[in-house]
Structure 1
Amino acid sequence: MGYARYVAVGDSQTEGVGDPDGDGGWRGYADRLAEHLAGVGPDVRYANLAVRGRRAHQVRAEQLAAAVALRPDLVTVVAGMNDLIRPSFAADKVVASLADMFAALTATGACVATVTFPDLALLAPVLRPLRHRVLDLNAGIRTAAARHGVVVVDTFGYAVTTDPRLWNADRIHASPLGHARIAAAFADALGLPGSDGTWSRPLPGAHTPSVARTVAAELRWMTSFAGPWLYRRVRRRPSGDILPAKRPRLTAVTPPARGPA
């Protein structure tokens, strides 16, 4: 099926943080998916309403009405990571916000797609306490998606999704390769021509680092990323406070010469 009007809603992952576009901005999985769509059918237009730092209820409050007004035939909804890593996390509240978006968007006749979260406990030892949160949130996402007929890209359980090479050094945003895999996973779940299940295959050359390297990496991460993030939270300064939507209007997409990835 071809899609001519694609709208992406979400937070920094959808904005594309971690995947530089070469012009001082971010590319990201949504841009890559839009390019894939443009390679499949003509006259594809794409809007990206995502703003970094947004929690699920903020995405619903700030982006849902605008998304509906754009009359999309395809919408990706990705939110919850900024909730997941906060002490006040409540899976039922996050799922309720996502379910509201699923209901409103599918009611317009659009195809809606979302994603579950990978097993963060396998990405870094310090993230192990988050595993039960991921399990609860994913279960809620699957249930809400099934209720509203939403396509789900289920990343949990695939070893490649916690390969450090798919993640930025901050371990919150995907790397360029990670964004490419997310876009490929959405394309596969949507059954787009030129897509398949290769996104889920392990990367070659995987290895287990030594204990010393692991400890050193954890210390670098704590001082370079976790510490500054906690400082911003204490001062209540979300990273996207003064930023506008990345691409608020539906505009034409040119498929890249090198292909969808």
Structure 2
Amino acid sequence: MQTHPTYSSLVAVGDSFTEGMSDLLPDGSYRGWADLLAGRMAARTPGFRYANLAVRGKLIGQIVDEQVDVAAAMDADVITLVGGLNDTLRPKCDMVRVRDLLTQAVERLAPSCGQLVLMRSPGRRGPVLERFRPRMEELFEVVDDLAERHGALVVDLYGAASLGDPRLWDVDRLHLTAEGHRRVAEAVWQRLGYQPEDTEWHLPMRATPPPGWAARRVADARFARQHLLPWIGRRLTGRSSGDGLPPKRGELLPYEGPA
């Protein structure tokens, strides 16, 4: 007989990926895979509690400084940690420092929860991924090694063919759509030992005719104007999209719906 895991609390740690961009709700807030996962877990566990400490734009050093100790003190059944990818996308990235900080985070979080969950983040197919692929894969090697040493689970989103499909990425080309986040929630759900609700989340999407040349040029221009140039501007001025923003859901409280 199939039994469900008995997890009664979840704390999510990370950056925009865990905050839920770009899974936009009608009120202008973001939902995302962590909220979806919490909703599923809460539906099966009375009194289920959830906190999401993620803030967009955070580097691994900021995650360690601002989120890790807070998460560790919550004594949750499950903690998810996804960080370091923003570092790998910077023109200058000290991968030794990223490794050391991620190690520090895992060593702090693993003993403080029932189950630590790490991820190999998804990557959108295209020239941006190709440019940064070596750093990303180096980061994922660190994730795999830390998981083995500290008993953490790894959710391999990078290896999922479906999540590389540009159709599952928002117009900013950095964040997943609502459907992308749904698939991530399913992946984590299954990795935690729950019975699958979608056994094909990782499979390639059905082929559709690609957009024409003119449509691609319009999309490229919009991407550059609305997302690429502002991103470059923040890098040049040392600013972040998450500056001044509080955690998405800063307290471990009963979960009844979106934050």
TM-score (norm 2): 0.90
The secondary structure found in structure 1 opposite 2:162 is helix
Match of 2:183 in 1: 181
The answer to whether 1:29 aligns with 2:33 is yes
Rounded Cα–Cα distance in structure 2 between residues aligned with 1:186 and 1:253: 18
Q: Which residue of 1 aligns with 2:100?
A: 96
What is the alpha-carbon distance in structure 2 between the residues aligned to residue 213 and residue 82 of structure 1? 29
- Percent of aligned positions that are identical: 39
1:164 is aligned to 166
Residue of structure 2 equivalent to 1:138 = 140
Q: Which residue of 2 aligns with 1:228?
A: 230
Indicate whether 1:11 and 2:19 are aligned: no
CA, structure 1 residues 203+105, in 2 after alignment: closer, same or farther (shift >3 Å)?
A: same
Q: Give the match for residue 52 of structure 1.
A: 56
- 1:78 corresponds in structure 2 to 82
Aligned to 1:151: 153
Q: For residues 99 and 196 of structure 1, what CA distance do their matches in structure 2 show?
A: 32
Question: Does the C-alpha gap of structure 1 residues 112 and 96 become closer, same or farther in structure 2, counting only changes over 3 Å?
Answer: same
Shift of 1:95: 2.6
- What CA distance in whole angstroms lies between the structure 1 residues aligned with 2:121 and 2:209? 23
Letter in 1 for 2:203: R
2:204 to 188, 202, 207: 202
Structure 1: state its 5+ residue gaps: 257-261
- Cα offsets for 1:31-86 (capped at 9, x unmatched): 01100101222211001111111001110110011101111110010112211210
What's the counterpart of residue 250 of structure 1?
252
Give the TM-score normalised by the residue count of structure 1: 0.89
Residue identity matched to 1:39: A
- Quote the offset at 1:118 in angstroms: 3.0
> What SS does the corresponding residue of 1:88 show, helix, strand or coil?
coil
Q: Aligned partner of 1:174: which letter?
A: L
| Worse-matched range after superposition: 209-218 or 52-61 | 209-218
Is residue 57–residue 242 contact of structure 2 (8 Å, CA) maintained in 1? Answer: yes
Q: How many residues align?
A: 254
Distance 1:195 1:54, change over 3 A: same
Report if aligned partners of 1:91, 1:140 keep a CA contact under 8 Å in 2.
Answer: no
Matched-pair contact (CA < 8 Å) for 1:40–1:193: no
Q: How far does residue 19 in structure 1 lie from its aligned partner after superposition?
A: 0.9
Shift of 1:220: 3.3
Partner-residue secondary structure (3-state), 2:41: helix
1:11, distance to aligned residue in structure 2 (A): 0.7
CA contact (8 A) 1:39 1:255 kept: no
For the residues of structure 2 that align with 1:128 and 1:213, how far apart are their CA atoms? 23
- SS of equivalent residue, structure 1 residue 201: coil
SS in 2 for 1:3: coil
In 1, Cα distance between the equivalents of 2:121 and 2:248?
23
Aligned residues of 2:119 and 2:156 also touching (Cα < 8 A): yes
Residues 112, 151 of structure 1: 8 Å contact kept: yes
Pair 1:62-2:66 in alignment: yes
CA drift of 1:216 comes to 4.8
Distance 1:255 1:192 in 2: 20
